[in-house]
Amino acid sequence: MESRKNLGLPDAGLFETQENGLKVAEIIRKARPELVILPYWEQRHPDHAAACQIGYRGCFLAGLAKMPIPGDVYRPRKIIYSSSFHDISPTFVVDISAQFERKCRAVGCYETQFMEKPGEREVYPPARNIFDYMEIRNRQYGYMIGVKYAECFIQKERLSVDDPLKLPGKSI
């Protein structure tokens, strides 16, 4: 199911509230995703950190029968956190070589978020270009797993492995 929803939450005014969590929970119950990807919980922009907390709250609330929202009780099986812009040790890395150009085009749709305007504040320091940064970081993670581009993610819970012989990748 492809869809994009805008809950009408204010720019520079996101807060983890029950009301916002219930709005997300309603979407979770309706869409019934198996996987939810949230922003990493530590962020420079307070809205991004709040989006992580609101998203998690929504996933949790969607699984509670007594919540005043339509739809059947449901919780996603897995929540992972995108951490591309943070210097952290990822839990796992995913090959995105076939999708890297598509990722760049998608980010380009939000140029008002990162393009500098003369006389206005700088979002990124001088001589930094978000596309150069994405290429460098995604190439770095790709190099770690032997592919051209990769994206890193974190999960909070421990990774459970049934058979170590089936783990992907080579150690030597």
Question: What's the CA gap between 91 and 159, in Å, rounded?
Answer: 8
Question: What's the CA gap between 58 and 17, in Å, rounded?
Answer: 10
pLDDT in tens, the chain (172 residues): 577 888 999 988 999 999 999 999 999 999 999 999 999 999 888 999 999 999 999 999 999 999 999 999 999 999 999 987 778 889 999 999 999 999 999 988 887 776 666 666 566 555 578 889 899 999 999 999 999 999 999 999 998 889 999 988 778 8
Asked if residues 9 and 55 have their Cβ atoms less than 8 Å apart, the reply is: no
**Which ranges of the chain does DSSP label H, i.e. alpha helix?**
18-31, 46-61, 100-108, 130-145
What per-residue confidence (pLDDT) applies to 85?
72
Predicted TM-score of the model (pTM): 0.86
Contacts 24+ apart (CB under 8 A), 159-162: 159/91, 159/92
Question: What's the CA gap between 146 and 109, in Å, rounded?
Answer: 29
**3-class SS of residue 132:** helix
Tokens of 22: 């219930």
What per-residue confidence (pLDDT) applies to 154?
94
Tokens of 156: 């909070």
